[in-house]
Chains A and B, each alone.
Chain A
C-alpha cells in the first residue's frame, strides 16, 4: 500500500490539533498551583467530565487499531471486550468500590493499600504499576511511530519525539487537568474522525444485515458458538470468556488500574465519583459500533469478489492492524484524511498522557514520598510531579526504542496486565470486603499471584509446559491463554492471601473504618430521588448490556 497522501488542508487539521493541546497546557498552567491541582485536577470535575476522561484514558489508538484488526481475525467475539469484559466491572467500581476509594481521600490505588494493609504492600504495587505504566507508554509510542511510518510515511524518530515532547509539555505544565481535557477532546475527535468509516462502509455494502451476511457465520455471533472452542474465531469457551475476561481481567483492569480510576478521583464529590464509571459504561457499550463494525466491514469487503480490498501482508503474515487505515484510505478524501490521522494521533497521545499522569502520581506519592523523602513539602511534591513527568516521557522514549527491537512485543500487552492487575484485583476484593485479611496475607498473596502469572507466561513461552495445561483445552488462541493465565493468577493470589491471613496478625478494627465494608456505616440515601441514585443508572446500564448480548447472541 502506498502511504496516505496528505494535502495542505490535512496538514492544517493536524497542526491545529497540536496548537490546541499545547495552548490548553499553557492556559491550564495558571490554574495549577497545588499538588491537588496537579495530581487530582483540583477535585472539581463533574461526573460527565470525569466519566468521559475515564473512558478515554482506555481508548488509545492502539486499542482502536488493535480491536478493529482483532475483529477481522476473531469476529464479533471481540465485542466481549466492550460488553461483558467491561460493563459489570465498571458498575461494580461505581456502586461498591468507589465509596471506599473516594471517601478515604487517597491520591492513588497504592495509597489505599497503605491505609488498608501496610507500607510494603503499597510499595510493591507502586513499583509494579510504575514499571507497567512506563512499559505500556513506550509500547504506545512505538505503535504510533509504526502506524505513522507504515500508513503516512512519516519518519520513525521524528514521530516519536514530536509526540513525546508535546505530551511532556502539556502534562508537565498542568498535570492531570490537561491530561483530562485532552482526553475529552480526543473522545470527540475519535468519533468524528473515525465513525464516518462505519457509515460509508454501511452505505457501500448496503446495510448492517448485509455486512453480517457476508462474513463467516461463526464470526457474526457473540455466544451461540461458545460451547465448542473449535467453532468460534477466538477458539475459546464461554467459561474462558466469563471467568478470564468477564471476571478477572475486566475487574482487575477497570477497578484497580490507577490509569482509569484516577479520573474518578478527580470528581467533585462522592456521587460524581460513583457516577463516573457508570456514565462511562454507556459510552463503552457504544464503541463496538465504531470499532467492531469497522472490522466487520473490512472482513465483509475482503470476502466480496471485486471489492479490491485486502489487508497488508508483511513477511507472509497478515497485518490485521492495517484494517482501519486501509478503510480510511478507501473512503476518506483530502481533509478527512487529516481528520482521521489526527484522531489516531490524538488517541496515541492521550493514551501516553494518561500513562504519564498516572505514573507521576504513583512515583511522587507511593515511591518518592513514601520511601525517599517522607517530609517533602507541597511545593516540592509539585516540582517532583513535573520532574517525574519529564523523566517518565524520556524513559518511555527509551522503552519505545527497546520495543522496536522485539518484533512480537505487542503480544506482551495483555500478558503484562495479567501479571499486575489480575492478582491485584484479588487483593483489593478481599481487602475491601473481608475484615480479617491481614497486611502480611495481602503482601505475600499479591507477590505469589504476580510471580505465578509471570512464571506461567515463561513456562508456556519456553515450552516448559503445554499451553493446554493452563487453558484446559487442546485448541486455544494466545488471547484465550491470556484469559486463563489471569484467572489462575487471581485464584493463586486469592487463596494465598486467605491462607496466610489465617496465621498472621490482623490490623486493629478501628483502623479499618471507611476502608472495609463491614466496618463502615451505611450512608443514608432514603432522601435521594430515584433518578439521582447511581444504582438506578447502573440497573439501566445492565438492562442495555443484556439486551445487546441477547440481540447479537
Chain B
C-alpha cells in the first residue's frame, strides 16, 4: 500500500500546478479586478512553493 505521504505529494503538486497556471495567466493578462497586493503575484510564487513541497514528498516516497 502506498503511504499517505505519496498522496499528500500528489495533492500539493496537482493543486500547486493549477495555482501556478492561474498565476502565470495573471501576469500575462492582468485581471480587471485587482486584489490587495495583487501586484506581488501571490498565486505564482505560492503555487511554486506548493509544487516544491509536493515534489519533496514524492521524491522522498520514491527513495523509500
Enumerate chain A interface residues (CB-CB to B < 8 A): 7, 9-10, 12-13, 16-17, 20, 24, 27-28, 31, 49, 180-181, 184-185, 188-189, 192, 196, 200, 203-204, 330-336, 338-339, 342
Contacts and interface: CB of A to CB of B under 8 A. Distances in A.
Contacts of A28: 1
A20 B26 contact: no
Given A16-B15, A196-B42, A335 B8 contact: no
Contacts of A49: 4
A333 B49 CA distance: 16
Contact of A333 (B7, B8, B11, B35): B35
A332 B40 CA distance: 11
B55 interface: no
A170 to B, nearest CB: 12
A24 B3 CA distance: 11
Contacts of A332: 35, 42-43
Given A9-B18, A16-B18, A28-B1, 5 more contacts: A20-B10, A192-B46, A196-B46, A204-B36, A334-B22
B42 A184 contact: no
A interface: dominant SS: helix
A335 B37 contact: no
Contacts of B18: 9, 12-13, 16, 335, 338
Interface pairs A-B: 8 shortest CB-CB? A335-B22, A9-B22, A335-B19, A335-B43, A336-B43, A333-B35, A330-B36, A13-B18
Contacts of B37: 200, 203-204, 331
Contact of B46 (A12, A16, A336): A336
A334 B10 contact: no
Interface in B1-39: 1-2, 4, 7-8, 10-12, 14-16, 18-19, 21-23, 25-26, 31, 35-38
Contacts of B15: 13, 16-17, 189, 192, 339, 342
A331 B43 CA distance: 10
A185 B8 contact: yes
Contacts of B10: 20
Contacts of A333: 22-23, 26, 31, 35, 38, 42-43
Contacts of B47: 335
Contacts of A339: 15, 19
A192 B22 contact: no
B1 A336 contact: no
A336 B36 contact: no
A24 B7 contact: yes
B41 to A, nearest CB: 8
A181 B7 contact: yes
Contact of B12 (A188, A334, A335, A336): A188
11 contacts: A7-B22, A9-B19, A17-B15, A27-B2, A185-B8, A188-B8, A188-B12, A192-B46, A332-B42, A333-B31, A334-B43
A43 to B, nearest CB: 14
Contacts of A27: 2
A219 to B, nearest CB: 23
B50 interface: yes
Nearest to A7: B22
